[in-house]
Structure 1
Amino acid sequence: MADPRAVSAGRIASAIDQLPSMIGYWDSSLRNVFANRVYADYFGIEPPDLVGKHIRELLGEALYELNLPYISGALAGEQQQFDRTLIDVNGAVRVTQVTYVPDVVDGAVVGFTAMVVDVSARAEAERERDRAIRLFRIAMENAPIGKAVMTCDGRWLQVNKALCELLGYTAEELQHRTFRDITHPDDISLADEHLKGLAEGTLTNVASEKRYIRKDGATIWVQRNATVVRDADAGDVIIAQIQDITARKNVEAALERQVLLDDLTSLGNRRRLMAELLALKEAVDSRPVGMLFVDVDEFKSINDRFGHAMGDRVLAAIGRRILDNVRADDVACRIGGDEFVALLYTATSADGVERLADRVRELLAGPYDIDGTDIPVTVSVGWSWEPTTDPDQLLRIADERMYSSKRA
């Protein structure tokens, strides 16, 4: 009958032999007592051939000297753990984690167990992670436009140098603020809507133009692109790219003003009036709006008598008088050669508009002093007060009353 202890020891040895890590036992003289099969894969030495060999013969002189402090520590009774890069018998580079466990009998160290675990895959994953983090940081810091990492409740986690320069804050100052603290008040509502969509998953990314308030109080326009990155362990974050478009927006605004502006008088032009009337037609509010229609009487005779250049200066002078006397919420336009229209959003009654028409007739009357020459001018003024649901009628009635005034 087989000795149970021998059977048990055989099973343990067989089990250890199947483990994917190198496991060996070295006595206090540093000679091998036991090694499992994995040693053959690393060093090309069959475990039975390793028994009795000094650990220096296995490791080689250079590797032995590197490991000697840990070997000495184990023989002194202290467990050791360290990482070591090995080159196996096939020339493959293996990153390993080595553990030496002292074997203490009656207070004396009689040897130690060595366990060497291959962590190459983990080490490569860590290298890839570190490389990705390093590349991300390089991209962040050297990007010519603003970049940021934010929490899903709008706090700044990481910001790059370009964003700090754009906003005038240091990175530390921004990290103590949320995006709402620097967003223009008129844009906060839409920004909150976008943030909620990203946080809840109804949006995966957003792209919009919005305004920020710099530290010095200046308002700037930015193109903001943001996307959410989901991470169950680290928590979801938002990656944002922020580019200054203030110069472009200023050019667009200037072009828009030119498209809607009369060059001679600085009033709105016919296109501006048509845009205002279209907006009235589409508006939900149908409250009445006032209008004045002004035409210069016998303007052709002014051109014939004084010349077209002088006539243009008279029109410019009339435009200045109109511009100086309209309210900020009203809109005055030159819609033809000598025709002007004022939309009176601030008017409150038909009687008030009619009285204003009489005052304007007197206000715009000449003479106009152009380089010492008095040029006589009279104007005819028509008016209307109609619901905004029919802006065409508003213009038609004012036009008819203007011609009635001219005939009178």
Structure 2
Amino acid sequence: MIRGSESLLYDAVYAGIQDQVYVMKPAENTYVYEFLNESAKKATGLSDQVIGQTFEEVFSQNIASVLITEYDKVMQKKDIIIYEDEYVVDNQTRHSNITLSPILNKQGNVDVIVGVVKDITNQKNAERELSHLWNELNKSKKRYQSLFKDNSDAIISFDLEGRITNGNPQVQDITGFKPIELIGKTCNAILDEESTAKLLNLINQPSSGKTAQLNVEITNRSNQIKSVSVKVSPLILNQKIQGTYAIFHDLTKEIETIKKWEESEERFRIIAEHAHDMISLLNYQGRIIYASPSYKRIVGFDNQEYTGKIFLYHIHPEDQERLQEIVVNSIKNGTPFSLQTRHYTMDGSYIWVEANGAPVFDKTDNFKHMVVLARDITMQKVYEKQLEHNATHDYLTGLPNRRLFKSKLTERLCHPSSDSLAVLMLDIDDFKSINDTFGHDIGDAVIVEFGKKVSQYLGDNDIVARLGGDEFIVLLYSISYAEKAEQFANNIKEVMKKPWGLEIGNIDVTTSIGITITNSEDNKDAFQLMKQADIALYEAKNDGKNGFYIYQDDTV
């Protein structure tokens, strides 16, 4: 056993170490405790009473056998070994990294073995969470790529001048042109003059953000004319249209179906029974006199259940009034209609359907019935929502982007308050060296985690956005005194010191912060405040990084 000055030496060296430290003396086929520090006692519940005892005297036979096996490896190799282990404390599984180091005497034999046990539970948990996050992100990315590429309808995006900027593979099915052949051209490359004017009017007119729809005729590459319905959805920010995408649905099959029914009711029924869309006929009272078998496949209810019901049957209550008004006007004016509505399903949920209806009149203009074709567009709705989200959010972190941040800041400045607001611009110090040293995947992970760390200290109305690269910007919506902005900056500096949970282990990351503070009397706009924060960030960098600087009016 270690005594006197040697014991004092162990205490001095190991007492302040946060990791668990054990000194074990080899004995016959076992090992004897010579020393354990305070961290080891706290973690295991052991005390100095184990000094002089063997593994078998302290632990169960199974645990002692595992420990002896690892220590025997050190005796055989006379070299350091490192391994990982897990154990249960208070019903929680803890993970540890164990380093066993032999101390040799003058004869080259192992005198004692020093075991250092480092708790890596937080690191392991962070690795699992990061792995789960990336798996979910990859799934989400692939899902929405599939929505665009595999959509059965053609999707074309336009700029504000009506020029084509992109398209999915299905564009060729309708137009005969590959999407790449249409990029940069105006919509009159596939539409006649009248249809072009209608589409451009939808693209350029002021919009509330709701989807608009019209029916047009397309002249394809072979000079064939196709009737299509076009649904135009603008992306709007600050009440300005930033871009537009249009979904072209080929109406050829629907039109042929209706024409064939007019020629022969029996022939119509045969076609309807094999249609993918839900097809129904309404009489003059608005009751359903025919529902296609496809109702069963799409909404789960037998088509016979709809016969005799009013056409609002199973329509979402919030959509019924609008649907009734449109159908009545369609019959009254003798014009077709198209709208989107929610339809109840057998599993208790609602799906989005797009209903296209047309009244049918006899030769004397007497109303015969209404033909309605409805198709499931639920996945299309999901895709539209994702497109809107992508327009205002950063793809990597999921945080708001520059556009959304500037919009929120402008909105706050338009609502004066007795409190001040603060804008903080942050970037990661020496981020390039992180990319160069660890690779871009780790660099991306640092950016994602950086956004999370900053978000921890945001209030209900505060916002953090990624401007690009390693640059972030924060709006503190309401601060009663300037020191609150400084306190926020200090919190961010401190949280950078906490573990990062990266697969390569922890790394040192610091940030520089530029701060500008304003109130309603300053009459500054969003551009000025963001510029001032950028200038302050530059000053913080010049001051040696890992700090913050508050903009003053005399700051150059």
TM-score, normalised by the number of residues in structure 1: 0.51
CA change 1:216–1:328 in 2 (3 A) is: farther
Match of 1:165 among 297, 303, 309: 297
Q: Which whole-Å CA distance do the structure 1 matches of 2:482 and 2:339 have between them?
A: 42
Q: Distance in 2 between matches of 1:280 and 1:230?
A: 56
Check conservation: 1:386, 1:393, Cα contact below 8 A: no
Match of 2:467 among 331, 335, 339: 335
2:330 counterpart SS class: helix
Taking the TM superposition and a 5 Å limit, the aligned residue runs for 1:337-352 are 337-342=469-474, 347=477, 349-351=478-480
Secondary structure of the residue aligned to 1:375 is coil
> Structure 2 CA distance, aligned partners of 1:229 and 1:352?
70
**Superposition deviation, residue 161 in structure 1:** 0.9
Kept after mapping to 2: 8 A contact 1:353/1:383: no
Paired with 1:390 and 1:174, the residues of 2 have a C-alpha distance of 58
1:148 aligns with 2:280: yes
In structure 1, what is the Cα distance between the partners aligned to 2:387 and 2:304?
39
Paired residue for 2:352? 221
Q: Does 1:274 align with 2:403?
A: yes
Q: Given the superposition, is the C-alpha separation of residues 257 and 304 from structure 1 closer, same or farther in structure 2, using an over 3 Å criterion?
A: closer
Larger Rg: 1
1:366: which partner in 2? 496
- Return closer, same or farther for 1:167/1:393 CA change in 2, 3 Å cut-off: farther
2:264 match: secondary structure:
helix
Partner deviation per Cα, 1:38-77 (whole Å, 9 max, x = no partner): xxxxxxxxxxxxxxxxxxxxxxxxxxxxxxxxxxxxxxxx
Q: Which runs of 5+ in 1 are unaligned?
A: 1-127
Shift of 1:326: 5.7
User: For residue 84 of structure 1, what is the aligned residue in structure 2?
Assistant: none
The 5 Å alignment of 1:53-202 reads 132-150=264-282, 155-175=287-307, 178=310, 180=312, 182-184=314-316, 187=319, 190-201=322-333
**Deviations 1:317-362 (CA, angstroms, capped at 9, x unpaired):** 1122345666798764311222223567xx5x45399847743651
Alpha-carbon deviations, 1:227-252, whole Å to 9, x = none?
A: 22357998564321112233344445
Q: Is the 8 A contact 1:149 1:159 kept in 2?
A: yes
Amino acid at match of 1:135: R
Distance in 2, matches of 1:329 and 1:199, equals: 49
Query: Structure 1 CA distance, aligned partners of 2:416 and 2:525?
Result: 10
Matched residues in 1 for 2:316 and 2:517: separation? 39
State how far apart, in whole Å, the 2-side matches of 1:170 and 1:177 are: 13
Alpha-carbon distance in 1 for matches of 2:511, 2:472: 13
Cα deviation for residue 147 of structure 1 reads 0.7
**Separation in structure 2 between the aligned mates of residue 390 and residue 256 of structure 1, nearest angstrom:** 26
Q: Which has the larger helix fraction? A: 1
Q: Deviation string for 1:195-253 (max 9, x for gaps)?
A: 3432442x711223444332313343333211223579985643211122333444454
Name the SS of the counterpart of 1:335 in structure 2.
strand
Instruction: Look up the match of 2:87.
Output: none
Q: Which range moves more in the overlay, 182-191 or 234-243?
A: 182-191
**Structural mapping, 1:291-302, within 5 Å:** 292-296=423-427, 298-300=429-431
Query: Per the alignment, in what secondary structure is the counterpart of residue 136 of structure 1?
Result: helix
Q: Among the aligned pairs, what percent are the same residue?
A: 23
* TM-score normalised according to structure 2 size: 0.39
Residues of 2 paired with 1:200 and 1:191: CA distance? Answer: 14
CA RMSD of aligned residues (A): 4.7
Q: Mark the CA change 1:379 to 1:187 in structure 2 (over 3 Å): closer, same or farther.
A: farther
Aligned residues: 272
Deviates more, 1:384-393 or 1:225-234: 384-393
- What is the identity, as a one-letter code, of the residue corresponding to 2:426? D
**Alpha-carbon distance between aligned partners in 2 of 1:130 and 1:187, rounded to the nearest angstrom:** 30
Whether 1:316 aligns to 2:448 is yes
Flag the 1:259–1:313 CA change in 2: closer, same or farther, 3 A.
same
Partner of 1:380: 513
* Counterpart residue identity of residue 403, structure 2: M
Q: 1:287 aligns with which of 412, 415, 419?
A: 415
CA distance 1:144–1:263, shift in 2 (3 Å) = closer
Provide the C-alpha distance between the structure 2 equivalents of 1:200 and 1:386, rounded to a whole number of angstroms.
Answer: 58
Residue matched to 1:42: none
Bigger mean CA offset, 393-402 vs 331-340? 393-402
Deviation of the 1:268 alpha carbon: 3.5
2:372 to 229, 240, 251: 240
Which is bigger in relative contact order (C-alpha 8 A, separation at least 6)?
1
CA distance in structure 1 between the partners assigned to 2:287 and 2:496 by the alignment:
63
Mark the CA change 1:380 to 1:330 in structure 2 (over 3 Å): closer, same or farther. closer
For 2:405 and 2:316, how far apart are their aligned partners in 1? 26
**TM-aligned CA distance change 1:130 to 1:332, over 3 Å:** closer
Distance 1:229 1:304, change over 3 A: closer
1:207 aligned partner: 338
**Residues 69-108 of structure 1 deviation map (CA, whole Å, 9 limit, x = unaligned):** xxxxxxxxxxxxxxxxxxxxxxxxxxxxxxxxxxxxxxxx
168 and 314 in structure 1: CA distance in 2 versus 1, 3 angstrom threshold: same
CA distance in 1 between counterparts of 2:492 and 2:389 reads: 27
Alpha-carbon shift at residue 292 of structure 1 (Å): 4.3
Q: Structure 1: how far apart are the matches of 2:409 and 2:312?
A: 33
Contact conserved, 1:225 with 1:242, CA < 8 A, in 2? yes
Q: 5+ residue gaps in structure 2?
A: 1-259, 541-547, 551-556
